[in-house]
């Protein structure tokens, strides 16, 4: 039985969230004299002298249409990293509770655990980069509040088996967070439509990857209205700036173009995979459901350093367990991919 009230930190239960006068007002105001803003505006951007909508209602309504869910199930963060941090701060008692991650995986889960003084337990993935359900189950105790699952996973690129994720959701009494930052590039469908079936589910997504808006820093968490209410209680009052809200609303009108870009990136991912497989020291290119590939290659570190001298920056994962001798390579533009491949040929020609 999932009981959310037992998971929320006591100080959060008692917390009176920050409230502005605009939280107390409904309708369309003509004069705003409540927030000590500069009423004369900025010399360069006069229309940005007012604080943004603290609830991001317009963006959430538009996202609700795109995702096919109610807006009450949406939380918006200043990047997914804010969503991660708020989940720790809302549900994990420092020095007492613990969370579980499944490395190799996204590094901010571990960083946020340390920042919030929460014990981190690790159930490493199996050799095929799938969940070790037995190990995972053995790590759970009465103080385990969150299990973090990244699917498609970073840095491995693969999707986790859906039945394994469902097994965790059905048997864990805490909150299961599925990070779907790369879901738009995957064959597997999102868990967003499963929110009504799993009250302990939080799904994270982002506009940084498929939508191409990394510079705007907008992360999304989808969950039951009760969990979203807790996150809204803890977040800073104006965590999503006005420019981001305006630009995201425009971007969300371009679903068709985004889908076209996704198809193009997936095609280039396949083409890049085939090129790497033809290279003499490449041992393996792991199957990917993301906009990057993980390449196992002899002398990975030396190649990484050589490419840096050419002004090409990859992600060296060669010292990460299960990713030994691996480079993580983002699918670039056609021009960027060509520059990379040409530089690799220069390496072999030495």
Q: Beginning with the edge strand found earlier in the chain, give each strand of the sheet holding 282-285 in spatial order.
A: 282-285, 292-297, 326-330, 315-316
**DSSP class per residue in 257-273:** HHHHHHHHHHHHHHHHH
Classify residue 66 as exposed, middle or buried by CB count within 10 Å of its CB (0-12, 13-18, 19+): exposed
Tens digit of each residue's pLDDT (9 = 90 or more) over 287-332: 999 999 999 999 999 999 999 999 999 999 999 999 999 999 999 9
For residue 208, what is the DSSP state? S
> Two tokens at 60?
């959430």
Q: What pLDDT is recorded for position 34? A: 85
Tens digit of each residue's pLDDT (9 = 90 or more) over 222-280: 999 999 999 999 999 999 999 999 999 999 999 999 999 999 999 999 999 999 999 99
Domain borders along the chain are 4-18+52-253, 256-349
Residuewise pLDDT in 10s, the chain (350 residues): 899 999 999 999 999 998 877 777 767 778 888 888 898 888 888 789 999 999 999 999 999 999 999 999 999 999 999 999 999 999 999 999 999 999 999 999 999 999 999 999 999 999 999 999 999 999 999 999 999 999 999 999 999 999 999 999 999 999 999 999 999 999 999 999 999 999 999 999 999 999 999 999 999 999 999 999 999 999 999 999 999 999 999 999 999 999 999 999 999 999 999 999 999 999 999 999 999 999 999 999 999 999 999 999 999 999 999 999 999 999 999 999 999 999 999 999 98
Sign (positive/negative) of CA torsion 307, 312, 318, 322?
negative
Q: Which residues contact 262 (CB under 8 A, 6 or more apart)?
A: 184, 185, 210
Residue 61 main-chain phi, psi, to 5 deg: -65, -40
Q: What pLDDT is recorded for position 61? A: 98
Question: Hey, which bits of the chain come out as E strands?
Answer: 74-78, 98-101, 119-122, 144-150, 175-179, 201-206, 218-222, 282-285, 292-297, 315-316, 326-330
Q: What pLDDT is recorded for position 20? A: 79
Q: If one looks up domain 4-18+52-253 in CATH, what number appears?
A: 3.40.640.10
Return the CATH fold of 256-349.
3.90.1150
Residue 119's DSSP bridge partners are 98
Q: What pLDDT is recorded for position 161? A: 98
């Amino acid at each position: 039985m999932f009981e959310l009230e037992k998971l929320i930190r006591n100080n959060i239960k008692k917390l009176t969230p920050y409230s502005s006068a605009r939280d107390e007002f409904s309708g369309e105001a003509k004069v705003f004299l409540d927030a000590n803003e500069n009423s004369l505006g900025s010399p360069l951007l006069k229309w940005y002298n007012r604080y943004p909508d603290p609830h991001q209602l317009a963006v959430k309504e538009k996202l609700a249409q795109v995702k096919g869910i109610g807006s009450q199930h949406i939380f918006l963060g200043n990047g997914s990293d804010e969503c991660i941090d708020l989940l720790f701060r809302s549900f994990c008692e420092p020095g007492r509770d613990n969370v579980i991650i499944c490395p190799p995986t996204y590094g901010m889960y571990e960083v946020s655990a340390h920042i919030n003084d929460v014990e981190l337990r690790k159930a490493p993935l199996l050799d095929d980069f799938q969940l070790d359900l037995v190990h995972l189950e053995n790590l759970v105790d009465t103080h385990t509040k969150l299990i973090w699952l990244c699917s498609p996973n970073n840095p491995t690129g693969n999707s986790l088996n859906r039945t394994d994720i469902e097994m965790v959701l059905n048997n864990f009494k805490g909150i299961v967070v599925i990070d779907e930052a790369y879901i738009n590039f995957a064959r597997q469908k999102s868990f967003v439509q499963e929110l009504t079936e799993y009250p302990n589910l939080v799904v994270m997504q982002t506009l940084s990857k498929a939508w191409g808006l990394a510079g705007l820093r907008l992360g999304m968490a989808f969950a039951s209205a009760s969990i979203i209410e807790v996150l809204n209680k803890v977040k800073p009052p104006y965590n999503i700036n006005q420019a981001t809200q305006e630009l995201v609303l425009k971007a969300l009108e371009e679903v068709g173009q985004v889908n076209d870009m996704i198809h193009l990136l997936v095609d280039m991912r396949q083409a890049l995979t085939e090129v790497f497989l033809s290279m003499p020291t490449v041992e393996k290119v792991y199957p990917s459901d993301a906009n990057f590939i993980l390449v196992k290659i002899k002398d990975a570190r030396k190649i990484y350093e050589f490419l840096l001298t050419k002004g090409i920056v990859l992600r060296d994962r060669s010292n990460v367990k299960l990713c030994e001798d691996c480079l993580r390579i983002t699918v670039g533009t056609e021009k960027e991919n060509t520059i990379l491949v040409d530089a690799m040929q220069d390496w072999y020609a030495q």
